A and B are shown apart, each in its own frame.
Chain A
């Protein structure tokens, strides 16, 4: 793997080029790839773009490695959902965050983590800022992160029953009696 870099690049690659690079290297998933334009104000120019891609878990680190070749991969947040057979995670990143007006490219990487193997590789060693989010996904969904040093609870109380994963929709999720309705 590429060692950790610690600064942003000024050498940007256009979103279209990033997309075609991903399509070339990850041809199998090219159907999941999408580039979205965002416009604003009174004009019609594109303000910025975001890239969306979904890969299999086994290819996740390869994709992250490729993105990290382009720039320090700024991490926003991991969102996710229990979709039945798997927990689906969306990693929201930014490339070229520091490279100029309108140059930031948002990148969302979606990956399904099968419920019979709820483990993801941790990105902590390259992006220390991801720590809270990996701990949050661990306690809320029960997805373990391989390589994350601190796996303590982050938002749930110290006396929380760790068998209950609040965001799961199956038997691991909260039962009606665990939920206090306020209204």
Chain B
């Protein structure tokens, strides 16, 4: 594909299967290896979960909400039950709020370590990837010890939580904190010391502060562009009300903001340390008391049937603000409507800006940098628009292109 011949090619990537609203195809217009423009088309696996929910009561929807995403499943149910609690005016016991906070932070650690590992894998830093996978096992073990499951924890419910933090579990969490304090530094070293990692991520996929504001970017994607936004800080909920949390932004650590893949990497790595501190604070400050507002399910369902109102909750999920809104109508057992807005729904609007004027070989890194789950990314098709010729490139080829670029930079 010759560059500068005024012939652009269209390269579709995807569909990318990444959760409820996140299966995304990216059509890239390329001139040689340069990406000139991008069009995003989600929807490949829109499953109509909100439509299905109209036939279910709030308790049943918890289990539906939990299956929106495999990684931030707890974030989705906390957002959902908080919206119900807002609509039905339910107060959650303080101990339950602390346990929710602990699980949310465990989930954030799990998500960010996975992301950091996969980002390293994408540009060919396999040893860091494997180390990431080993490290992530610990937090998965802790989640299993606490909830019985490694994903879909079944732990949150309306008005509280269903599992307590026992002294045994607390001991396991503290062991994990000690482990991460000592071992997680490899990722910090990748960010600050490895010249190749820096060369691959610096000035790649830039999202300016202004574009991040106008395109409503969220979470680490927005913070990577220097925006001090974090719902745990700007509108504290659950146990975050008792903690002094500051949004992690690159300018506080490196003195400058590029808004590139590197800055988004840096923000996530530093947020793992922040989550460790939040876990310690939450364990230290956890009050005694009830776990649920109403432990008897039939009684709770009966109360919810009488409730009437609209509830809204936005919480800080690992990838950014996760918003759920729900409507309850008095006399109806099922909810009237439910709206879910996963963070990638908002962050994907910024993708075309990040792609422009970058190399095709950097596209996997850029897609990864907003942290969608590209678990089912299958293949891409390279189309020569002038002749109509098509060439199918597999995901493996794409990754290989990305890794080749690293090798070229290393001169081998």
Contact = CB atoms under 8 A, between A and B. Distances in A.
A91 to B, nearest CB: 11
Contacts of A153: 43
A61 interface: no
Nearest to B239: A41
B234 A129 contact: no
A105 to B, nearest CB: 8
Interface string A131-170: 1110000000000000000000111110000000011000
Contact of A98 (B48, B216, B228, B312): B228
Interface stretch (A23-31, A62-70, A76-84, A111-119): A76-84
A99 B312 contact: no
Given A41-B241, A75-B216, A156-B43, A97 B229 contact: yes
B interface residue count range (under 10 / 10 to 19 / 20 to 34 / 35 or more): 35 or more
- If over half of B's interface residues share one DSSP class (helix, strand or loop), that class is named, otherwise mixed; here it is mixed
A133 B346 CA distance: 9
Contacts of B358: none
Nearest to B20: A155
A64 to B, nearest CB: 15
A10 to B, nearest CB: 10
Given A50-B312, A132-B345, A155-B21, A40 B234 contact: no
Nearest to B326: A79
A168 to B, nearest CB: 11
Contacts, number: 144
Interface in A52-100: 52, 72, 74-81, 90, 92, 94, 96-100
B346 A129 contact: yes
Contacts of A81: 327, 336-337
A76 B314 contact: yes
Interface string B313-349: 0100000010101010000000011010100011011
Contact of B285 (A7, A42, A130): A42
